[in-house]
Amino acid sequence: MATLNIRGKESWLVPILFILLLVFPLVLTRFYTYLLALIFVSGLAAMSLNLVLGYGGIYQFHHAVFYGVGAYGAALTITKLGYSPWIGFLVGPLLAAFISLVMGAICVRLSKLYFGMLQISLGSLVWAIVYRWYSFTGGDDGIHGVSMPDLIGSTTGSYYFTLLVTAACLIAMYLIVKSPFGSALQGIRDNPVRSEAVGVNVKLHQLVALVIAGFFAGVAGVLFIVVDNSAFPDMLFWTLSLEILIMCLLGGWLTFLGPMLGAAMMVALRTFASTFTEYWTLIQGIILMLVIIFLPEGVLGYVNAKFKQLGNLASGGKA
């Protein structure tokens, strides 16, 4: 499926990219280091969505909820309950996975668009709780100045921590995608009826996939705290879910790394376009429209197809 995979011809790209990412903070300004870390965070959130969207064919429209819950879970554990940040970092993803289990168990009975609609409603409920519960969550002010361990307190420290955790998550997700569970999930995406007929309990597999995706989204939420030291209700507002969804479509929802690429494009676009114009969402909309019309499988999907064509030409074969 994904041509740019770790065992493909382009496998040398991965270690080189990783080494580049390791030296970047030595040459980049703090702002760009921060920006890169933000790309990893958004990219991880988008990739966790793509686990259920691209690989599972599940219309998870409100994925940001788990990102936000992960962030708040960590932030509140640290600030309100007074535990060490490292414990907070564990609580965040576990809480996100738990919320995902509860929401998933309710929504998974419905199919396709109905799933998506119910999921949006329940997600908005979680947002409303965070937004309204002023005394505990800080309401629309959010939580600021979450203190970090010294090791990861600086911009560079938080960058390296984010890089390593993101890399670890990508490896774990890659293994999952290539595992028998991943195969079954892609089978369900392509044909749920046939999956049932070969003995796969479709709803249960979908639920497990949702919990896994919720967990990794929660990790992304925690990493945001590490990078930004704050959490705010917009992190689980539906517009952010839309943005994460766009990252998947833009980068390529049928590829493994596509959503990360989509995140890089979106974060870069937002940062640079918004310095020139306040209408950056308009630019974003136009770019998305162009991509959907000309590259329906996203940028990485397009690149992969080109690579395949080149490979076929080179080997002189047809298909």
Partner 1 sequence: MLRIEGIQKSFGGFMAVNGANLGVQKGEIVAVIGPNGAGKTTLFNLITGIIKPDGGRVIFKEEEITGLPAYRICKKGMSRSFQVVNIFSRLTVFENVQIAVLSRHGKTFNLFTPSRKLLIEETSDILQSVGLTDKGRSVSGSLSHGDQKALEIAIALGGHPELLILDEPTAGLSPEETIRCIDLIKRLSADLGLTILFCEHDMELVFAIANRIMVMVRGKSIIQGLPADVRCNREVQDAYLGESESGVCLA
Binding site for partner 1 (CB under 8 A): 1, 175-176, 178-184, 186-187, 189-191, 193-202, 205, 208, 254, 319
Nearer to partner 1, 167 or 273 (CB): 167
Nearer to partner 1, 90 or 202 (CB): 202
Question: Residue 5 Cβ, how far from partner 1 at the closest point, in Å?
Answer: 11
Amino acid at 3: T
Cα end-to-end distance, the chain, whole Å: 14
**Cβ–Cβ under 8 Å, residues 57 and 182:** no
Nearer to partner 1, 41 or 254 (CB): 254
What whole-number distance in Å separates Cα of residue 218 and Cα of residue 68? 7
**Cβ–Cβ under 8 Å, residues 182 and 55:** yes
What whole-number distance in Å separates Cα of residue 105 and Cα of residue 71? 22
CB atoms within 10 A of CB 106: 13
Nearer to partner 1, 233 or 301 (CB): 301
**Cβ–Cβ under 8 Å, residues 79 and 91:** no
Question: Residue 117 Cβ, how far from partner 1 at the closest point, in Å?
Answer: 25
DSSP code of residue 54: T
DSSP code of residue 226: H
Provide the token pair at 173. Answer: 């997700």
Question: Residue 226 Cβ, how far from partner 1 at the closest point, in Å?
Answer: 26
Question: Residue 207 Cβ, how far from partner 1 at the closest point, in Å?
Answer: 11
What whole-number distance in Å separates Cα of residue 208 and Cα of residue 52? 10
Question: Residue 215 Cβ, how far from partner 1 at the closest point, in Å?
Answer: 12
Nearer to partner 1, 203 or 270 (CB): 203
**Closest alpha carbon to 299 in 257, 239, 237, 236:** 257
Question: Residue 225 Cβ, how far from partner 1 at the closest point, in Å?
Answer: 27
**Cβ–Cβ under 8 Å, residues 16 and 244:** no
Nearer to partner 1, 138 or 182 (CB): 182
Nearer to partner 1, 141 or 190 (CB): 190
Question: Residue 171 Cβ, how far from partner 1 at the closest point, in Å?
Answer: 11
Strand partners, 143: 231
**Cβ–Cβ under 8 Å, residues 88 and 77:** yes
